[in-house]
Structure 1
Amino acid sequence: MSSHAATAPPDTGAPHAGPAPTRRRIAAQAAFETRAILRNGEQILVTVLLPLFLLVGLDRVHAVELDTSGATRIDFLTPGVLAVAVMSTALTSQAIATAFDRRNGVLRLMATTPLGRGGLLAGKVLGVLAVEVVQAVVLVVAALVLGWHPDAAGIPLAVVSALLGTAAFTALALLVAGTLRAEGVLALANLLLVVLIVAGGVLVPPAHLAGGWSHVAALLPSGALGDAMRGALLDGSVPVGPVLVLLAWTVVLGWATRRWFRWQ
């Protein structure tokens, strides 16, 4: 009686079937989100060219009077323009992209893949952060050329403030994109950006706005982000109030997004 030993199938060198590790799937999605923004002419206009235009234009066109509280014009403007850059990507760009992905069924399809809903959202957030790095490099180089002298001790605080602002505005973007029709999101996201730039306390401190609106602007995420960035880069410290406002908006908007976001 003879016996046959079991043998393993030969190794052909072919890759094993199955999904990639979670971190690789998220990284691939983040890279896709980043490329999608940076290759889109309209998105480049909003995320890079608009903040750059504001920085150079407001610094050079002195017809617009600013109360800089003793700081140079470029030192005063740069923190607010960096805050605008965060808003343009985390709010406007992300809201529009997500809304049209939702309308076209992309969100529903991607949520059923191994990437999953959590991986898809993580990829979107990382994509936003990657674009913000590109924005920061462009704007910081331009500001330095124009004579900007930030408080070096406040740079880490400015990064933390930008992350808090990104969290709040990304939550707002997902809430809008997940509850409204894509065409409505397109109009609303652009309108929100313009209104917040003009009257949201981001370029001009809320305290400099007229009447009771100064108190309202201070409680908006735009005003809080602008004050946090100015505190960090002008004074080397961030007031507690703006940080609490940004955290509160992030929690509330995050809860609302989790509650009402629709994937299709």
Structure 2
Amino acid sequence: MNAYIQLTLSQLRFFVRNRQVLVFTLFMPLFFMLMLGSFLGKGNDISLDGVIIDQDHSAESSVMVQALQSNSILKLKSSDDLDKSLDQLKNGDQKLVVLIQQNYGHAVGLKGADSTKASFLQVYYDQTNQQSAQIGLQTVGQVADGVSKQLVNFVPTIRVEPIGVQALQLRYIDFLVPGILAMMIMSNNLNGVSGQIASWRERGVLRRMQSTPLKASTFIAAQITARLVMNTAQALIVLLVGALVFGTQVNGSWWLLLLFVVMGTLTFMSIGFIIAGVAKTPESAGPIAGLISFPLMFLGGVFFSVSSMPSFLQPIVKSIPITQLSTAIRQIMNVGAGIGDLWQEGLMLAIWLVVAFVVATFTFKWE
């Protein structure tokens, strides 16, 4: 127990005294957050991403779908699930949900003769974001008027029925802070562990430790404890700066947030041990870690939403650990999600942790 405590304390002292570690593990993430948050994070996101649902599946509704999707302002994706789309709208993931109801084609065929059947284009919008709602409703209305003009010389056959939905008032900074937190956990452990262990092996530190009564389990446990303490402290600093400067907050459970911080730390530590075992020198460990972490930083939902990426890439991106970690932290902070809502993210992280730990046990070398 004494060796474990001493190793943990020595590792923490190493973190505090090493200025490069502090710069790259704490100050760089804070710099990204402050710079991007200052330029992009204070205003509401007014990009008009949305969903269009065609319940009529007629030739007339296909014309409307094509007209809406070809509009340069609207970015509407087709869907068949109204409930899921409305949940995305409420959570701030979408700005509009356009619903083409059944019998739309029949109503259009009446060419305005029966006005009671003319309102078959419903637009659900976020009523907490009036700027985005006004632009969206106006744009959809213009598209509908254009289609009407083509049909019946501008007789208002198609009307737009706006329906307000109470949604979360999320800003880009609310999206960014959880991503920065996930990126920091990944960088601290994947890059930090691989470089440090490879350096200690080359300098003979690990060989000298192996020659003592020190057990490998004690050494690894001390590393885990020190990094958990450091990651938790750094996470609190990031959350504190985000709250004081930008007004971000944690709407969910702090204990659940801590659980995912721990799982993320252990997962990326295990991957770091794998890199340290594969790399022959510290000089090669750094590029290998960077080759893995740099793409993950931009693909894992840190700065940009995964839903905005190409559809063929999304299944791959959603399977990597930083995506699971950033999604879970973002849902806890912004939506107040509970463990029942995040069991898939927790399961994926657990699978990554177990697999990476098993591989690390076979690749780790003292010399």
Do these two structures clear the TM 0.5 threshold for a shared fold by scoring above it? yes
SS in 1 for 2:194: helix
Gaps of 5+ in 2: 48-91, 94-168
Separation in structure 2 between the aligned mates of residue 252 and residue 25 of structure 1, nearest angstrom = 28
Q: Percent identity among equivalent residues?
A: 24
Q: Given the superposition, is the C-alpha separation of residues 191 and 40 from structure 1 closer, same or farther in structure 2, using an over 3 Å criterion?
A: farther
Q: Check if 1:86 corresponds to 2:185.
A: yes
Higher strand share: 2
CA RMSD of aligned residues (A): 2.1
Separation in structure 2 between the aligned mates of residue 133 and residue 230 of structure 1, nearest angstrom = 16
Q: TM-score, normalised by structure 1?
A: 0.84
Match of 2:16 in 1: 38
Q: Check if 1:180 corresponds to 2:279.
A: yes
Paired residue for 1:57, among 35, 39, 46?
35
Structure having greater relative contact order (Cα 8 Å, sep ≥ 6): 1
Give CA deviations for 1:164-220 in whole Å, capped at 9, x if unaligned: 111110000011112212211111223333221112233334233223222111100
Paired residue for 1:104, among 203, 208, 232?
203
Count of aligned pairs between the two proteins: 242
Paired residue for 1:220, among 313, 316, 320?
320
Match of 1:122 in 2: 221
Q: TM-score, normalised by structure 2?
A: 0.62
- State whether residues 202 and 227 of structure 1, in contact with CA within 8 Å, keep that contact through their aligned partners in structure 2: no
Give 1:1-264 correspondences, 5 Å limit: 22=1, 24-62=2-40, 69=93, 70-181=169-280, 182-237=282-337, 238-264=341-367
More deviation in 53-62 or 36-45? 36-45
Q: Given the superposition, is the C-alpha separation of residues 153 and 170 from structure 1 closer, same or farther in structure 2, using an over 3 Å criterion?
A: same
Higher helix share: 1
How many angstroms does 1:255 deviate by? Answer: 0.6
How many angstroms does 1:59 deviate by? Answer: 0.7
Give CA deviations for 1:116-173 in whole Å, capped at 9, x if unaligned: 2111111111111121123123212210112333244332211111111111100000
- State whether residues 202 and 226 of structure 1, in contact with CA within 8 Å, keep that contact through their aligned partners in structure 2: yes
Compare CA radii of gyration and give the structure with the larger one.
Answer: 2
More deviation in 41-50 or 172-181? 41-50
SS in 1 for 2:212: coil
Separation in structure 1 between the aligned mates of residue 292 and residue 22 of structure 2, nearest angstrom = 18
After TM superposition, where is structure 1 displaced by more than 3 Å over at least 4 residues in a row?
65-70
More deviation in 189-198 or 43-52? 189-198
How many angstroms does 1:82 deviate by? Answer: 1.0
Gaps of 5+ in 1: 1-21
Amino acid at match of 1:229: I
Separation in structure 1 between the aligned mates of residue 196 and residue 316 of structure 2, nearest angstrom = 29
